[in-house]
A and B are shown apart, each in its own frame.
Chain A
């Protein structure tokens, strides 16, 4: 299973649900797989995609919030798993594209290439629904369950690197405003109103 194919599978499965993407290849692939207003692309803040998704899931319990993170990014903010495990939002789904490498920076090994197990870490920190998947079929089945069954979900998808062919919009404020409108909460400043 490579990352772009798995990302396409995800976009096809989620309908209107929001997806928060970690910077670099996860965000590039999400754009290539299907640009949509409910995609929140980060251009920095490595490690924080799961935290952004957590905050969104807490603010909007009626939404099912998906996050696409990388193994290197999650390793940079492992404490996030403890906070997710404690606050336990049932509507939160973290997908970790685990290619066992810093794919955006030249393919250097991450710790998952040497035994670190992110699903075990998530489970140890209190995530109630977890999986490690290695095939498109297994990934599809995990996503189907994560859309319906209470989480927090942490799905570690072992993927091969797939060179991205596109980049998301660069304007950060555009990304934010389009996203907020798409999830039914347009930013106040974009709305106008009474004098």
Chain B
């Protein structure tokens, strides 16, 4: 039996608490826990797989135009794929989304190819004007997600919550 990681349950509870009932995603390994918990325990949340992160943001924009509060989940590597959608659609039209990013390239990374974008995630968010926050502990995940979601939908900008590897990757797998 798979044990639900506390942080992953927190992501689900947080996005649900902020009123999001539709998650558009490109999967990665840690996010698979979130997707499984949504499937098992949040039957009112619909998930849509996108082929690419930029597409996910297009779908999210349409969901918002229809009155929904979309969440987009991706790995940090996919932020690069998303930039044109963010900078020429969501930001200028003031279309909000809760963005949950599973980090690569931060402390614990083993793959060189993940490091440059991992390092750039926060500066990119700052450069294009997206508020962002980083989950510090498994216990605070739900509240951190809820708060950045509240900021996103309240101020009508995409708001970013980063899930660092120290949170999402079990200690024995970091070795």
Contact = CB atoms under 8 A, between A and B. Distances in A.
Interface of A: 20, 40, 42-60, 63, 77, 79-80, 82-83, 86-87, 172-173, 175-176, 179-180, 183, 185, 187, 189
A60 B55 contact: no
B58 A77 contact: yes
B54 A47 contact: yes
A9 B89 CA distance: 28
B94 A40 contact: no
A2 to B, nearest CB: 28
A179 B66 CA distance: 10
19 contacts: A44-B84, A44-B92, A45-B58, A46-B84, A48-B55, A48-B57, A48-B58, A51-B61, A51-B62, A54-B58, A55-B59, A55-B62, A56-B66, A58-B46, A58-B59, A59-B63, A77-B55, A79-B50, A180-B65
Interface residues of B, number: 33
Nearest to B156: A189
Contact of A48 (B61, B63, B92, B156): B61
A78 B72 CA distance: 20
Interface in B40-55: 46, 48-52, 54-55
Nearest to B90: A45
Contacts of A63: 66
Contact of A56 (B49, B65, B87): B65
B35 interface: no
Given A42-B89, A48-B89, A87-B48, A185 B67 contact: yes
Given A180-B67, A183-B65, 5 more contacts: A51-B57, A59-B66, A83-B59, A175-B93, A176-B94
B51 A83 contact: yes
Contacts of B54: 47-48, 77
A92 to B, nearest CB: 10
B67 A59 contact: yes
B130 interface: no
Contacts of A80: 51, 55, 58
A77 B59 CA distance: 12
Given A57-B62, A59-B22, A180-B67, A83 B55 contact: yes
Contact of A173 (B24, B48, B63, B94): B94
Nearest to B86: A45
A55 B58 contact: yes
Contacts of B125: none
Contacts of B58: 45, 47-52, 54-55, 77, 80
A169 B136 CA distance: 44
A52 to B, nearest CB: 4
Nearest to B95: A176
Nearest to B84: A45
Given A46-B84, A52-B58, A172-B93, A82 B66 contact: no
A49 B94 CA distance: 17
B52 A176 contact: no
Looking at A42, A48, A55, A172, the one whose CB has the most chain B CB atoms below 10 A away is A55
B88 A55 contact: no
Nearest to B21: A59
B59 to A, nearest CB: 4
B138 to A, nearest CB: 31
A96 B87 CA distance: 24
B155 to A, nearest CB: 9
A52 B46 CA distance: 17
